[in-house]
Structures are given as C-alpha cells and as structure tokens.
Homo-oligomer: A and B are copies of this chain.
Amino acid sequence: MNRPSGRAANQLRPVKITRQYTKHAEGSVLIEFGDTKVLCNASVSESVPSFLRGSGKGWVTAEYGMLPRSTNSRMRREAAAGKQGGRTVEIQRLIGRSLRAAVDLEALGEVSITIDCDVIQADGGTRTASITGACVALADALNALVAKGTIKSNPMTCMIGAVSVGIYEGEVVLDLDYPEDSAAETDMNVVMTSEGGFVEVQGTAEAAPFSADELNGMLASAKAGIEELFALQQAALAEG
C-alpha cells in the first residue's frame, strides 16, 4: 500500500504546537498537524452555566469554527447563515466532552473555561488537532488560575490527545490528511487520556463496514500515535 501522502502507515504528519500564539487569551495555542492549522484559545470566566450555579463545580466547554476559506472551496460563514451547522455542533460537543475527562470539576470550583478552536487552514483531522491543541491551552489557562491564586492547584488529572485513523486500501493508516480521508473506507477518531484509557472512540464506515479485527488494528495504531502526541504536548509545556 502507498498512502496518498507517501507517509508510512503508522506515521503522523509533522506536528507543531506553538503556545502564547495570541496575547489576550489565558491559554493560546496554534496546533499544526501538517497543513491543518487550528488556533485554540482558552478563556476563563469566574461563573458557571445556570445548571451548575451553587454546585461548587466548574465547567469546561468548547466552541469550534472554520474560517470560511480554511477549506479548498469557500464555505458559507456560519454567522452570516445564522446558525452553526450540524458538523460544527457535533465537533464542539466532542471537544468539550473530551476535555472534561481531564479535569476534576469539583477541584476547579465555580469557574468556566471555554476553548475556542478556530480552524485557520484545513487539511483533514481538524477535530483531533483541536482536541490535542485545546488540551495544552487548557493546561495553560488552569496554570494561570493557579498563578493568580484563584485555585490552589491545577485540577487536571491527565492530558488528552486525539488522532484519526482509518482503513485505506484495506490497511490501517494513521492521521489521515484530507485526500486520504476522502478515499478511506473507514474513518475513526480516537481520544485517549495520558493514562492510557479511551475517552471517545467514534468509528464510521464510509465505503464498507469494518470488522472487530480492523477496529482493534485502528485502536492500536491510534494509541501509538497519541503517545507521540503526549510527548509533543509535554515538550511544549516544558518550554514555558
């Protein structure tokens, strides 16, 4: 098998994590998975949604957007269309759920963190890049809260990483770019904690159903890839 990208089956694209990318956000990370570039800005608010008021618990949520010309042909601006599309809503719910798996919301207290993941340039894998970058921005924002004295210690219990994996010409391939994703038989997004557990597994048969063996092959490849991402996250956070 020759992947369209020429990469080895289990090879990630070059991943780059740039912290403090913008100046206003409490955590601001530009993450690049090859040509996919997502800006992840974490904002802190010392209040919580109404369903948590008085509970002593905090909240972590995400919003996702694509710049209209982040893609090959221009997409309609969602603000002009007057609503977020189904894919947008699905992705931002996934990002939020994934990040909440890393935070002890009781230890956070009644504080909300919103992570805006805005795709500057898209080439496949924007949701997994978003999760991986957002986790670093979240760490920075929570560290800022510790530094400021709002909370005593960082309530993150682990890091979160995510990658896509698929079946292309019958074989498992890691971190699909857009041409690969369009041609894959199956596409799966895997989200894991740095302690090795699965947080989300979302596999979708595109051209043909997949078997349990294929699913396990994809999970193994994703696990190896996400471990590389954890190392890159750690290296980025160590630079601080």
User: Which A residues fall within an 8 A CB radius of B?
Assistant: 22-25, 28, 35, 37, 39, 41, 43, 45, 63, 65, 67-74, 77-84, 86-90, 92-93, 97, 101, 114, 116, 118, 120-122, 188, 192-193, 195-205, 208-212, 215-216, 219, 223
Contacts and interface: CB of A to CB of B under 8 A. Distances in A.
Given A22-B69, A201-B202, A90 B93 contact: yes
A155 to B, nearest CB: 16
Nearest to A87: B93
A83 B86 contact: no
Nearest to A121: B22
27 contacts: A22-B37, A22-B121, A24-B69, A25-B69, A39-B120, A41-B68, A43-B74, A63-B80, A77-B79, A77-B116, A79-B83, A79-B88, A80-B84, A86-B89, A86-B90, A86-B92, A89-B90, A97-B204, A101-B209, A197-B205, A197-B208, A198-B209, A198-B210, A201-B215, A202-B202, A215-B219, A216-B216
Contact of A120 (B22, B63, B97): B22
A19 to B, nearest CB: 14
A90 B88 CA distance: 10
